[in-house]
Amino acid sequence: MDFRARRWRYGLLIGTAFVAGAIAGPDLGALGRAFAQDSSRTDMYQMLKVFGDVMQRVRADYVDPVDDKELIENSINGMLTGLDPHSSYMNAKAFKDMQIQTKGEFGGLGIEVNEDKGIIRVVSPIDDTPAAKAGIKPGDIITALDGKTLIGMTLNDAVDKMRGPPNSKIVLTIKRQNIDKPLEVPLIRENIKIQVVKSRMEPNDIGYVRLSQFTEQADSGIKQAVKDLRAKNGGKLRGLILDLRNDPGGLLDQAVSVSSDFIDQGEIVSTRARHPEDSQRWDAKGEDILHGAPLVVLINGGSASASEIVSGALQDHRRAILLGTRSFGKGSVQTVIPLPGDGAMRLTTARYYTPSGRSIQAVGIVPDVPVQETAEAAPAFGGEHEADYNKILTNQGGTGPQALPPRTDLPSVVKQIPDKPPADFPKFDVAKPDQTDFQLQQGLVLMQAMVAQKSAPAN
């Protein structure tokens, strides 16, 4: 039976049920739908009455006096966080903090966290912040602050407690993969001014640019970094390594602009909302600031959201070769909607899709050249990727990961690049990245081959 037949049959059954309680009707299907809508409306009013009854009982009989505003805020937040891991309510203070953070300056620890069924997980630490310096890793579970459990605490409350005046101390209790005992991590809060873009020259005229977050300075920072690299190297820039590892994302418009820095034309990303008229598409709006020079992008499980938009666009357009590990898999768009009282809600309103039509929701971007950061075994518990969370959006409406044909433009050296470092490879040292960063080392090997391949004369 086709869909139209099934739809008609169900409508007829509803109409028949309605007629059983009435004499006749000119349009049984329409009356049936109206009955269903009225029933749904009645159910909603009934639940709102239950909510009012519960709130009144709490106000009257809870063991301690309660604040009405706090009750309502907790109720709103519970409604939103129950939808998916990324929808939430922000009171006036949290909303103000978010606005400050997107500008690249805020106080606290410098750590991006998310909530999953009452568990506070680290998405990514931010470069050069107390969290990053202390070795906090993506996937870490924060179980307590200053010895007090986070069980039953909302994400907003947990973040609020992690913030504080500069030079004040806080101790995070961490549960980490492959480590049986909890880790006690003391941190000193700082007034954090994020330098979202860092750059340096590598040997053989290869540039390296690190983007740690998609704040309002991301696109301008990338352009300036490439300009500075050329200036410092006598105008030579034979290739670029763009490091998006542990970049938790940020502003959508910045993701589009950064992608446009390397793609001359074509689609960057599209979004599909519940209502078709709300769906959008963004195309490249700039010019390739590398003028066609080879590009390698480093990604890992901490590369999320805007990082995945950029990675997916560059991969789909065959503009860059991606190296590292599978990205986080956050393929949804959150709209921040201001509310009365100076608060706001962060509501998931759409899924986004790469230029080839792929949805990376709960799947992530798979690198062209898989290379692990360490030789350690796989994690003992989940939490590093979107797919490990509860109540996530389904991956739907896309073309699937098979939308892209296998790459035929990879240099032959790719077959010689190991997928993980040897067991005796040194532990990462931020002061010696070229000697201790295995993924970067392999990125440089790949880049040298790409430069040689581009420079080779045509036969």
Residues assigned a catalytic role: 305, 316, 330
Residue 245, CB-side half-sphere exposure with 13 Å CA sphere: 22
Question: What does the alpha-carbon distance between residue 305 and residue 251 come to, in Å, rounded to a whole number?
Answer: 9
Measured distance CA(154)–CA(141) in Å, rounded: 14
Calpha distance 448→404 (Å, rounded): 25
Question: Cα dist. 294→193, 207, 222, 400, 436 in Å?
Answer: 31, 11, 16, 27, 24
> Per-residue b/e over 90-123, b at no fewer than 16 CB within 10 Å?
bbeebbebeeebbebebbbbbbbbbbbeebbbbb
Give the H or E element holding residue 454.
helix 438-455
Residue whose token pair is 């329409």:
30
CB-facing half-sphere around the CA of 31: CA atoms within 13 A = 16
Q: 213 with 248: CB under 8 angstroms?
A: yes
Give the count of beta carbons closer than 10 Å to the beta carbon of residue 298.
27
Contacts of 208 (CB under 8 A, 6+ apart): 199, 200, 201, 202, 240, 241, 243, 440
Spacing of C-alpha 210 from chain mean position: 17
